[in-house]
């Protein structure tokens, strides 16, 4: 028996409350189960109980067995001096602590216990996938709202830390986080390192010259280290030598970048070229992001086209079939979802402006639903997300609750366990 499940049983009174008695035969009426304690000390604070003819107010301790009282050292811990009831699943050792004891095993709702065990033993990626249809829509939607906020706040904490590291400089922080997003999942870290290796002020000074921007970015990425290449490569290499001296730049290690098992359009070389084009074509991008309200306008800010060389290349000196390498709509949506929306949320939070927090959430509702492995699992379970607001909530639910089978902390799981 799992203590977490016993907490759940006590909190939601999933036992026969009409005949509950202590092991000494005194009737127990649970007027208020108390507030669950997530830290050390008694499991529930401020409970109200009537035991026999006396009404009590105090703390409740819950253990799997009566022997746990000693195993856990409660008998020597002063924090347990105000226990008014000791609830155990099974009485396996006589107790002499003088506290009323209830053996819950004979009162517990076996339906909920069996259901919980099935969820914990489930081999499905989403443990309750076969039972989701039994949960009211209002429960699912309300919980999904909480998941969206939880996910965006989780991302926000990382952004707040980045802002603190940059001494409150919004422009530089935005530049670093945007660069990280350009690396998407596989090359996020090297892309962020690349951005941090080039001062934003250095890029700003060269922003009107796309060739020099590419030279600086590719050179710093460690991708201009070959002794020779085609004309364009050699031109970039020559420009980088000059810029490296001018701005005291030292290149990254080339082997940080991952090309294997990627679609050519997602190669870091293509993404760096697109990032250079964005810097080249954008002016005061951070300010514009703050001002723009509609997702269509935001899309236009990121519809950038790299230099002509990249229309016929995925790598340096390796020609390919001509294809425009502008950022695709799904890539732009990825940036809006994972960088712009949480950044607006952080901006609103730290500036104490509700309109920016609302805009951050509205942006998710305007972006198309994501299509990835996690979302496809939810679709198989019968959940059909309409937009990114839904998919962000579903990703959070899967990663933070389903993966570790935290059914007792999930409103959907709790609803399933309450069903008869």
Chain segment 278-299, per-residue pLDDT in tens: 999 988 899 999 998 889 999 9
183 and 314 within one domain:
yes
CB atoms within 10 A of CB 222: 18
**362 falls within a domain:** no
**188 falls within a domain:** yes
Write down the pTM of the prediction: 0.85
Q: How many structural domains does the chain have?
A: 2
Final residue in a domain of this structure, among 283, 307, 327: 327
**347 falls within a domain:** no
175 and 37 within one domain:
no
- Answer whether 402's CB lies under 8 Å from 416's CB: no
CA separation for the pair 407, 115 (Å, rounded): 11
**355 falls within a domain:** no
The structure tokens 């420009």 sit at 239
- Answer whether 43's CB lies under 8 Å from 36's CB: yes
In the chain, the percentage of residues whose pLDDT exceeds 90 is 85
214 and 323 within one domain:
yes
321 and 190 within one domain:
yes
191 and 56 within one domain:
no
CA separation for the pair 356, 348 (Å, rounded): 5
209 and 102 within one domain:
no
303 and 209 within one domain:
yes
309 and 170 within one domain:
yes
173 and 35 within one domain:
no
State the residue range of the domain holding 196. Answer: 166-327
Q: Take residue 165 and report the two structure tokens written for it.
A: 């590291």
- Segments in the chain below pLDDT 70: 420
**298 falls within a domain:** yes
Q: What is the pLDDT of residue 15?
A: 87
Q: What is the pLDDT of residue 362?
A: 95
3-state helix, strand, coil in the chain (%, to 5): 55, 10, 35
Residues 6+ apart with CB under 8 A from 88: 62, 63, 64, 65, 66, 68, 101, 102, 103, 104
Spatial CA neighbour of 257 closest among 323, 160, 192: 192
H or E element in which residue 29 lies: strand 28-32
**35 falls within a domain:** yes
**159 falls within a domain:** no
- Answer whether 89's CB lies under 8 Å from 6's CB: yes
Q: What is the pLDDT of residue 343?
A: 96
CA separation for the pair 206, 363 (Å, rounded): 32
Backbone angles phi, psi at 248, to 5 degrees: 55, 55
Q: Which residues on adjacent β-strands are paired with residue 48?
A: 32, 57
187 and 73 within one domain:
no
Q: Which residues on adjacent β-strands are paired with residue 108?
A: 15
**139 falls within a domain:** no
314 and 242 within one domain:
yes
Q: What is the pLDDT of residue 358?
A: 95
Q: What is the pLDDT of residue 109?
A: 77
Q: Which residues on adjacent β-strands are paired with residue 27?
A: 21
Strand ranges for 250-362 from DSSP E: 313-315, 318-319
Final residue in a domain of this structure, among 62, 84, 108: 108
CA separation for the pair 210, 341 (Å, rounded): 28
Final residue in a domain of this structure, among 327, 343, 361: 327
315 and 225 within one domain:
yes
What does 142-188 look like in DSSP terms, one character per residue? HHHHHHHHHHHHHHHHHHHHHHHHTTT-HHHHHHHHHHHHHTTTTTH
Q: Is 6 helix (H, G, I), strand (E, B) or coil?
A: helix
Q: Take residue 293 and report the two structure tokens written for it.
A: 């309200």
């Amino acid at each position: 028996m799992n203590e977490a499940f016993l907490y759940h049983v006590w909190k939601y009174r999933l036992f026969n409350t009409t005949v509950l008695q202590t092991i000494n035969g005194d009737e127990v009426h649970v007027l208020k189960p108390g507030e669950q304690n997530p830290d050390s000390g008694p499991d529930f604070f401020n409970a109200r109980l009537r035991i026999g003819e006396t009404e009590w107010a105090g703390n409740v301790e819950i253990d799997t067995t009566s022997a746990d009282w000693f195993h856990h050292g409660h008998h020597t811990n002063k924090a347990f001096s105000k226990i008014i009831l000791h609830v155990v699943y099974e009485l396996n050792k006589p107790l002499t602590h003088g506290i009323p004891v209830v053996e819950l095993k004979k009162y517990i709702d076996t339906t909920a216990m069996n259901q919980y065990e099935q969820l914990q033993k489930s081999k499905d990626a989403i443990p309750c996938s076969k039972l989701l249809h039994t949960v009211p829509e209002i429960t699912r939607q309300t919980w999904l709202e909480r998941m969206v906020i939880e996910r965006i706040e989780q991302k926000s904490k990382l952004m707040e830390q980045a802002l603190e590291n940059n001494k409150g400089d919004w422009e530089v922080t935005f530049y670093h986080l945007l660069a990280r997003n350009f690396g998407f999942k596989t090359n996020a870290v090297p892309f962020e390192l690349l951005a941090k290796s080039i001062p934003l002020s250095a890029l700003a000074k060269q922003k009107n010259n796309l060739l020099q921007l590419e030279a600086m970015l590719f050179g710093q990425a460690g991708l201009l280290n070959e002794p020779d290449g085609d004309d364009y490569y050699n031109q970039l290499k020559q420009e980088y030598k000059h810029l490296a001296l001018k701005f005291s730049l030292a290149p990254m290690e080339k082997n940080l970048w991952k090309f294997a098992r990627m679609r050519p359009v997602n190669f870091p070389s293509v993404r760096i070229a697109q990032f250079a084009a964005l810097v080249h074509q954008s002016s005061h991008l951070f300010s514009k992001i703050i001002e723009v309200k509609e997702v269509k306008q935001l899309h236009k800010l990121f519809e950038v086209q790299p230099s002509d060389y990249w229309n016929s290349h995925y790598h340096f000196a390796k020609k390919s079939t001509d294809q425009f390498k502008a950022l695709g709509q799904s890539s732009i949506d990825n940036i809006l979802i994972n960088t712009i929306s949480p950044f607006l949320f952080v901006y609103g939070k730290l500036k104490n402006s509700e309109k920016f927090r609302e805009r951050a959430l509205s942006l998710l509702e305007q972006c198309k639903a994501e299509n990835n492995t996690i979302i496809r699992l939810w679709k198989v379970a019968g959940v059909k997300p309409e937009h990114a607001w839904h998919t962000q909530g579903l990703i959070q639910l899967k990663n933070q609750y389903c993966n570790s089978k935290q059914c007792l902390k999930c409103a959907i799981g709790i609803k399933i366990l309450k069903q008869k």
